[in-house]
Amino acid sequence: MPVPRPSRRTLAVLAAAAFAAASLIPVSTAHASTGGLAGSDLFLNPYSTTLEAARSLKGQARADAQLLGSIPSADWITRGTPAEAKAAVGEIVGAAAALRRMPVLVAYNVPFRDCAQYSAGGATSTAEYKAWIDGVAAGIGKRAATVILEPDGLGIIPHYTTINGDTEWCQPAEADPATAASERFAQLNYAVDTLKALPATSVYLDGTHSGWLGVGDMSDRLIKAGVERADGFFLNASNYVQTERLAKYGSWISQCIHLSQNSWWEPAWCASQYYPADPNDFSTWGLSDAAYDKAYADTGLTRDPSAMAHFVIDTSRNGQGPWAGPSAPYPGAPAGADPETWCNPPDRGVGQRPSTTTGDPLLDAYLWIKVPGESDGKCYRGTGGPLDPERGIEDPAAGQWFPEQARELIAYANPTLSALTCQVKVTSRRIGKGFAATVVLANNGTTTLKPWKLSWYFDGKQKVKAVIGGSFVQKGTAVTVTARRHTALKPGKKAAFVVTGTGSATEPWIFWLNGSACTTR
């Protein structure tokens, strides 16, 4: 599981809810006070790693990063001391709370993370991990948050013996074979209990995806990890499986857990994508649906979504489904070499946009858990590297921005991802202890904007003193400039104003024109 770059901390608490609602920065009208993800509005971090990457790019690559950065994706917390985790989480959750939005955090620091592969790292002991989770929980506090708990945390368990008696391939020498698996379950149970003790936090455990573990094995692991005390599980993190398959797989896991925890049923008996269905023929998956109908009839149980484990699906890169890989090994790779079909595959696209409205009572949300546009790592596909033989270039390190892949994710998006229809150019200069900035905005859409408002966040303690060419309101770091009365911005036209203020002359990372995100140049 590639480690994304740590999110840049929000430098100040964002606008108060009353101001944000009055401005044109997108904001929810309802606040999830009970931790429920379903139906809530997702937080867009204006200081995300995606928008950070955009600042160092030019041309199409910059526009691509800004487009992807205009859509909510998760913020990853991957390291640090408990105090550092608390501070990083607290600033993200505080910013989201000010806007009455739901932040999605990925907690990714479990010992032997990713079995010391591309994303090696994590806490060095159970005690260290528990202290780190305590820091994450302290950063959330009483505010609403959703936590995606440890991608691959249940898919890859050191020295584990599966429900079928198979030995896990992950066997790090540093881990005690007698205790490593039980320690993983203890760590995850502690995290679930600690986070769910908070009044407004939703927690989802790793459920892998339908191209990986069978339903019975996955359900058994989730039960051992404390899924009955969590909100449910997540699917497809950083992967490419089609949404329709994941929805089936998730419903089967939910039913398998429900049957196993409320009757004489055993997880090992659960139907799956492997039997009676054929994993390669989606038209056969109804056979497993029928098997669950029979299981419920045999046990006398009734499906009750309110009493069953729910799930979320990562749709950040599954618009075109998985990559089949090459028909033969690459030159220089031995026969049977792993083509690493999961690692920066070509011609993939983003999928369903993030949403907490799904129409499925068990499916709480489509989320962008993996940050689209960030590399999976340096992919050698059985060769000695350093080039990726599929792409003919050296891929960026795990978590670093990958402009070529970002372009593909947009070009092959399903559904189609439209370009942003406004553009802002800022020219700033330092004046004494303050700044003067000329802001030029272009309406590249097809609709006349009358009136129009431009909104943004500062990244520090800047204060607007005056606006020439409009009026302004500032609350905290959030600013909205409103055009003069009766001023219209027609398609293909530009408008300009000048802002003077105190503080540094740094350019905001993202702007919104009448609530729609803009590119910058």
- Residue 223 identity: I
Question: Are the C-beta atoms of residues 271 and 252 closer than 8 Å to each other?
Answer: yes
The average pLDDT across 369-396 equals: 96
Q: pLDDT tens digit string along 404-418?
A: 999 999 999 999 999
- What pLDDT was estimated at residue 33? 33
CA gap 390, 432 in Å, rounded: 53
Question: Are the C-beta atoms of residues 311 and 207 closer than 8 Å to each other?
Answer: yes
CA gap 390, 339 in Å, rounded: 9
DSSP letters for 307-319 = GS-EEEEE-SS-T
Name the packing angle between helices 126-140 and 82-98 (round to 10°).
30
- What pLDDT was estimated at residue 26? 52
- What pLDDT was estimated at residue 521? 84
Find, among 490, 495, 466, 496, the residue nearest to 479 by Cα. 466
The residues near 343 (Cβ < 8 Å, ≥ 6 apart) are 118, 376, 377, 379, 381, 395
Q: What is the mean pLDDT of the chain?
A: 92
- What pLDDT was estimated at residue 30? 34
Question: Are the C-beta atoms of residues 238 and 314 closer than 8 Å to each other?
Answer: yes
CA gap 237, 232 in Å, rounded: 14
Q: Which two tokens stand for residue 98?
A: 């000010």
Q: Domains (ranges, CATH) in the chain?
A: 17-411 (3.20.20.40), 422-520 (2.60.40.290)
- What pLDDT was estimated at residue 459? 84
CA atoms within 13 A on the CB side of 416: 3
- What pLDDT was estimated at residue 117? 61
- What pLDDT was estimated at residue 12? 34
Q: What angle do CA 208, 214, 215 make, to 5 degrees?
A: 85
Q: Please report which helix (H) or strand (E) contains residue 247, including its range.
A: helix 243-262
Instruction: Using the predicted structure, report yes or no on whether residue 167 has a pLDDT greater than 70.
Output: yes
Output DSSP code: residue 392: T
The average pLDDT across 57-63 equals: 96
CA gap 55, 167 in Å, rounded: 46
Residue 495's alpha-carbon distances to 79, 200, 302, 482, in angstroms, are: 44, 43, 61, 12
Among the residue ranges 90-94, 119-123, 152-156, 329-333, the one predicted with the least confidence is 119-123
Instruction: Using the predicted structure, report yes or no on whether residue 355 has a pLDDT greater than 70.
Output: yes
CA gap 384, 394 in Å, rounded: 12
85 phi/psi in degrees, rounded to 5: -65, -45
Find, among 442, 419, 410, 457, the residue nearest to 26 by Cα. 457
CA atoms within 13 A on the CB side of 407: 8
Give the bridge partners for 393, in sequence order.
388
pLDDT range class, residue 222, cuts 50, 70, 90: very high
Q: Please report which helix (H) or strand (E) contains residue 425, including its range.
A: strand 422-431
Question: Are the C-beta atoms of residues 171 and 177 closer than 8 Å to each other?
Answer: yes
- What pLDDT was estimated at residue 252? 98
Instruction: Using the predicted structure, report yes or no on whether residue 27 has a pLDDT greater than 80.
Output: no
Helix (H, G, I), strand (E, B), or coil: what is residue 294?
Answer: helix
Instruction: Using the predicted structure, report yes or no on whether residue 61 has a pLDDT greater than 50.
Output: yes
User: Percent of the chain scored above 70 by pLDDT?
Assistant: 92
pLDDT range class, residue 25, cuts 50, 70, 90: low
Pairing of strands 201-206, 516-520: unpaired
Residue 492's alpha-carbon distances to 26, 380, 423, 488, in angstroms, are: 24, 46, 11, 12
Helix (H, G, I), strand (E, B), or coil: what is residue 448?
Answer: coil
pLDDT range class, residue 9, cuts 50, 70, 90: very low
DSSP letters for 45-101 = -TT-HHHHHHTT--HHHHHHHHHHHTS---EEE----HHHHHHHHHHHHHHHHHTT-
Q: pLDDT tens digit string along 318-340?
A: 999 999 999 999 999 999 999 99
3-state SS string for 328-375: CCCCCCCCCCCCCCCCCCCCCCCCCCCECCCCCCCEEEEECCCCCCEC
- Residue 470 identity: G
- What pLDDT was estimated at residue 460? 82
pLDDT range class, residue 21, cuts 50, 70, 90: very low
The average pLDDT across 457-486 equals: 93
pLDDT range class, residue 1, cuts 50, 70, 90: low
Find, among 317, 385, 352, 321, the residue nearest to 2 by Cα. 317
Question: Are the C-beta atoms of residues 151 and 106 closer than 8 Å to each other?
Answer: yes
